[in-house]
């Protein structure tokens, strides 16, 4: 996981959208209370043998990428309700991502999606991002939508299409994404295909996977030495009867067949209801195939709700497995963390800041777990004490740790108040052209 910008690197950021002075002024009246809360939590933790500064340092090194597409209002299949001042191109999206990072200090990387974020000069785009204090994370290909002027429609699928020319087009698009990624400093290609069927019998379930594997192998062959391909599975939508890479089983089998540079990406919303996602994490890690995460939350299916808004305990249990994996890396541990949500009714900047905080807070709680006590209780078959080891950490209010991390990195104690006080969205509403109503998100 790449670390965040050090103070020297931050000085090279010439284009930050918010005034550092304004953030410091807003923080000033809250500093004493924060020092008090941090001190009090520190004393409490130290009674349990935990050094709060060590936890703070771990959180300071933690980060999660934001999706370029998350800066716009999402939507459903039924409607999209844009807000004034929404970004309409990658330059404006980067600016919004910079706001998220400046205030939350947790999101220094942006994951772009192509062709949505296409530009003519990628070296310039990389520089632009750097001047905003940002780098690029995994590049995402898009073969789930047709683009204007595209030679072959994806209405028969993409990498698994029955039509050779369509498969070829999808392969070439993925290879183009790798080439773009090389110019902007990415080392991961995330591939999610919507390929599948809506009717029993529509396609041969075995042969469609053959076609996918054969095409994905050609993309795999184009990966540079230090790159990975992250296979993202999803149970349903847009195909509602069968999906080619539907679950973690299909995903790990495909990744194993493709080779060591192929890993699995877990989007928290892409499972059958009530699936034990933390166990999937442990399984994927056991076989060296855990590649990355798309964080979001859900109540019913792939709802793409804000991370931790419905089931924060599940998010904590996922991070508990991730910390286990980090401490026991087996063949390596380097998952790409990203938020992937659809912000239908909130200002996307506010949602991403609040979600980044929810994610980092579950991470901090998982770091707090007394692993020795947990392991001893597990070994001794003391079920209640094993559970209590998790419960004790989950119950800690880690907010002062997160706030201290933010202040020390130039961020805001109260991110939402600082954002609203900045008047950023109101300014953008005057400067930016209005977005169309458009279709919903996939
Ligand atoms: C598909 O539902 C997904 O989770 C994939 O990650 C896409 O790239 C993203 O949403 C945006 O549509
Ligand atoms: Mn996703």
pLDDT at 1 over 80: no
Q: What is the mean pLDDT of the chain?
A: 95
Whole-angstrom distance, CA of residue 315 vs CA of residue 293: 11
193 Cα to the center of ligand 2, angstroms? 10
User: Are residues 110 and 91 in contact, defined by beta-carbon separation less than 8 angstroms?
Assistant: no
What value does the mean pLDDT take over residues 70-90? 92
CA nearest 106: which of 63, 69, 55?
A: 63
pLDDT of residue 13: 74
User: Which residues lie with the beta carbon below 6 Å from any ligand 1 atom?
Assistant: 69, 140, 192, 232, 234, 267, 294, 302, 340, 441-442
pLDDT of residue 211: 98
150 Cα to the center of ligand 1, angstroms? 20
For 99-148, give the DSSP string: HHHHHHS---EEE-EETTT--S-HHHHHHHHHHTT-EE--EEE--SS--T
Query: What's the 3-state SS for 227-286?
Result: CEEEEECCCCCCCCCEECCCCHHHHHHHHHHHCCCEEEEEECCCCCCCCCHHHHHHHHHH
Q: Which residues surround ligand 2, an ion (CB under 5 A)?
A: 267, 294, 340
Between β-strands 242-243 and 196-197, what pairing exists: parallel, antiparallel or unpaired? antiparallel
For 61-104, give the DSSP string: T---BEEGGGGS----SS-----TT---SHHHHHHHHHHHHHHH
70 Cα to the center of ligand 2, angstroms? 11
pLDDT of residue 11: 54
Give per-residue pLDDT as tens, 221-236. Answer: 999 999 999 999 999 9
Q: Is the pLDDT higher at 5 or at 90?
A: 90
What value does the mean pLDDT take over residues 238-266? 98
What would you report as the CA-atom Rg of the chain, rounded to the nearest whole angstrom? 22
pLDDT at 176 over 60: yes
CB atoms within 10 A of CB 213: 18
Name the CA dihedral angle for 144, 180, 338, 368, rounded to a multiple of 10 degrees: 150
Q: Which is it for the CA torsion 153, 154, 157, 159, positive or negative? A: positive
Whole-angstrom distance, CA of residue 368 vs CA of residue 266: 24
pLDDT at 9 over 60: no
- Give the rounded distance of the alpha carbon of 242 from its chain centre: 25
pLDDT band at 442 (very low <50, low <70, confident <90, very high): very low
What value does the mean pLDDT take over residues 171-192? 98
Give per-residue pLDDT as tens, 302-344. Answer: 999 999 999 999 999 999 999 999 999 998 999 999 999 999 9
Among all bound ligands, the one having the nearest atom to the CA of 339 is: 2
pLDDT of residue 242: 98
Copy the structure tokens of residue 83: 């807000």
pLDDT of residue 194: 98
| % of residues, the chain, pLDDT over 90 | 93
pLDDT band at 77 (very low <50, low <70, confident <90, very high): confident
User: Are residues 227 and 178 in contact, defined by beta-carbon separation less than 8 angstroms?
Assistant: yes
Atom 2 (ligand 1) nearest CA: 442
| % of residues, the chain, pLDDT over 70 | 96
pLDDT of residue 2: 45
Whole-angstrom distance, CA of residue 333 vs CA of residue 263: 11
Atom 7 (ligand 1) nearest CA: 192
pLDDT at 440 over 80: no
Give per-residue pLDDT as tens, 84-132. Answer: 999 999 999 999 999 999 999 999 999 999 999 999 999 999 999 999 9
231 Cα to the center of ligand 2, angstroms? 10
Q: Return the half-sphere exposure (C-beta side, CA atoms, 13 A cut-off) of residue 201.
A: 0
Whole-angstrom distance, CA of residue 27 vs CA of residue 326: 34
State which of 117, 188, 238, 267 you would mutate to test the pocket of ligand 1, scoring each by most atoms of that ligand within 8 A of its C-beta.
267
Q: What is the pTM of this model?
A: 0.96
233 Cα to the center of ligand 1, angstroms? 10
pLDDT of residue 7: 53
Q: Which letter does DSSP use for residue 439 in this model?
A: -
Q: Is the pLDDT higher at 389 or at 439?
A: 389
pLDDT at 4 over 60: no
Among all bound ligands, the one having the nearest atom to the CA of 114 is: 1
Enumerate the β-bridge partners of residue 191: 231
pLDDT of residue 184: 98
322 preceded by cis ω (within 30°)?
A: no
Q: How many helices (H) and strands (E) does the chain have?
A: 17, 12
Give per-residue pLDDT as tens, 405-430. Answer: 999 999 999 999 999 999 999 999 99
pLDDT at 441 over 70: no
């Amino acid at each position: 996981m790449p670390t965040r910008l050090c103070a020297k690197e931050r000085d090279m950021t010439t284009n930050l959208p918010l005034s550092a002075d304004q953030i410091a002024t807003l923080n000033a009246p809250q500093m004493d209370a924060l020092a008090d809360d941090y001190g009090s939590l520190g004393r409490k933790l130290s009674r349990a043998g935990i050094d709060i500064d060590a936890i703070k340092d771990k959180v300071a090194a933690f980060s999660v990428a934001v999706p370029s597409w998350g800066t716009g209002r999402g939507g459903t299949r039924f409607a999209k309700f844009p807000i004034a001042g929404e970004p309409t191109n990658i330059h404006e999206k980067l600016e919004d991502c910079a706001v998220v990072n400046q205030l939350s200090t947790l999101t220094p990387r942006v994951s772009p999606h192509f062709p949505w974020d296409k530009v003519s000069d990628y070296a310039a785009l990389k520089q632009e991002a750097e001047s905003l204090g940002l780098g690029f994370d995994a590049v995402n290909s898009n073969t789930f939508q047709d683009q204007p002027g595209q030679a072959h429609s994806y209405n028969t699928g993409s990498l698994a299409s029955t039509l050779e020319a369509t498969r070829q087009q999808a392969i070439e698009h993925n290879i183009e994404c790798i080439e773009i990624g090389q110019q902007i400093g990415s080392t991961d290609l995330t591939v999610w295909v919507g390929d599948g069927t809506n009717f029993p019998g529509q396609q041969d379930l075995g042969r469609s996977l053959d076609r996918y594997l054969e095409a994905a192998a050609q993309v795999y062959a184009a990966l540079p030495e230090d790159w990975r391909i992250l296979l993202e599975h999803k149970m349903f939508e847009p195909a509602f009867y069968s999906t080619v890479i539907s679950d973690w089983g299909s995903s790990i089998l495909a990744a194993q067949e493709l080779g060591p540079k192929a890993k699995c990406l877990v989007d928290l919303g892409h499972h059958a209801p009530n699936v034990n996602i933390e166990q999937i994490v442990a399984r994927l890690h056991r076989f060296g195939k855990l590649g990355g995460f798309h964080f979001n939350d859900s109540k019913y299916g792939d709802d793409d709700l804000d991370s931790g808004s419905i089931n924060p305990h599940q998010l904590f249990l996922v991070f508990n497995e991730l910390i286990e994996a980090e401490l026991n890396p087996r063949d390596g541990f380097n998952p790409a963390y990203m938020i992937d949500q659809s912000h239908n009714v909130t200002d996307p900047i506010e949602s991403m800041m609040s979600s980044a905080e929810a994610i980092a807070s579950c991470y901090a709680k998982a770091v707090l777990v007394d692993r020795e006590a947990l392991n001893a209780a597990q070994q001794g078959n003391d079920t209640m004490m094993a559970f209590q080891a998790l419960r004790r950490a989950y119950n800690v209010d880690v907010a002062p740790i997160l706030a201290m991390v933010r202040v020390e990195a130039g961020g805001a104690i109260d991110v939402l108040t600082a954002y609203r006080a900045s008047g950023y969205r109101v300014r953008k509403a005057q400067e930016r052209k209005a977005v169309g109503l458009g279709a919903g998100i996939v």
